[in-house]
Amino acid sequence: MARRNLFQPPPPPETDAAPATVEKQKSRFPNTGAMSGVKSTLKDVASNAVREIAVNMIEEDGPKDRLDFTDADVISLAESIKTHGQQVPIMVRPIADKPGHYRIIYGRRRLRALRFLGQPAKALVRSLTDEQAILAQGQENTQRLDPSFIEKALFATELADSGYEQAVILDALAVDKPMLSRMTKVARTIPKSVIEQIGSAHGVGRRRWETLADQTRSSDLDLDQIVQSIELSAIASSEDRFGKVSDAVTRSLRNDTSEAQVPSPTLSITLGDGTALAEVKDTARSLSIKLSKTETPEFARWMRDNAEAELTRLYKAWQSEQ
d(CA 141, CA 88): 13
Q: Are 22 and 64 in contact (CB under 8 A)?
A: no
- Phi/psi at 228 (5° precision): -65, -25
- Phi/psi at 38 (5° precision): -65, -45
**pTM value > 0.85:** no
Q: What is the mean pLDDT of residues 277-301?
A: 82
Give the pLDDT confidence of 17-64 residue by residue, as tens digits.
Answer: 444 444 444 444 445 454 444 444 444 444 457 789 999 999 887 666
Give the pLDDT confidence of 101-134 residue by residue, as tens digits.
Answer: 998 888 888 888 999 999 999 988 887 777 777 7
**DSSP H helical segments within the chain, as ranges?**
18-28, 33-47, 71-84, 108-117, 130-144, 149-161, 166-173, 177-189, 192-198, 206-217, 223-228, 238-259, 297-321
d(CA 139, CA 170): 10
Provide the pLDDT confidence category of residue 65 given band limits of 50, 70 and 90.
Answer: low
Give the pLDDT confidence of 240-281 residue by residue, as tens digits.
Answer: 999 999 998 888 887 765 544 445 667 888 887 878 888 888
Instruction: Indicate the average pLDDT of the chain.
Output: 77
Q: Domains, the chain, ranges and CATH?
A: 43-145 (3.90.1530.10), 148-262 (1.10.10), 263-306 (no CATH)
Give the pLDDT confidence of 159-215 residue by residue, as tens digits.
Answer: 888 788 888 888 777 788 899 999 999 999 999 889 988 988 888 989 999 999 998
Q: Are 81 and 114 in contact (CB under 8 A)?
A: yes
Rg (C-alpha) for the chain, rounded Å, is 33
Q: Are 277 and 296 in contact (CB under 8 A)?
A: yes
Q: What is the mean pLDDT of residues 137-151?
A: 69
Per-residue model confidence (pLDDT) at position 319: 81
